Amino acid sequence: MQALSEKGTALLAKFKKFQKLSLVLYALAAMAFVFAGNILLTIIIVALDIFLEIKLYRCPHCGKGLDCRRRVNEDTVCPKCEKYIFRGL
């Protein structure tokens, strides 16, 4: 199995950070709705997370959007182009 390049390792770290950020944003949206009753703020936070998912969570080979709910590791394969996401960069 081919080792990850420096670029592949950086991309894997970016994807994992984005997953954590997404979780935090959804938690903030839930708190804004439940504790503050602020629907507008909740909609803005969820829209921001969806925008970031569409913009950042993409296959580097084919450019298609990836499912943010999938577990990301070194051997993750793009469901569209079927290439390893973090290898061959």
Could you tell me which of 65, 54, 68 has the C-alpha nearest to residue 15?
Answer: 68
One pLDDT digit (tens) per residue for the chain, 89 residues:
567 788 888 888 888 888 899 899 999 999 999 998 989 999 999 999 999 888 888 888 898 888 877 777 888 888 889 888 888 77
Spans of all domains in the chain: 1-89
C-beta separation of 76 from 86 below 8 A = yes
pLDDT recorded at residue 47: 95
**What's the predicted TM-score (pTM) here?**
0.73
Amino acid, res. 40: L
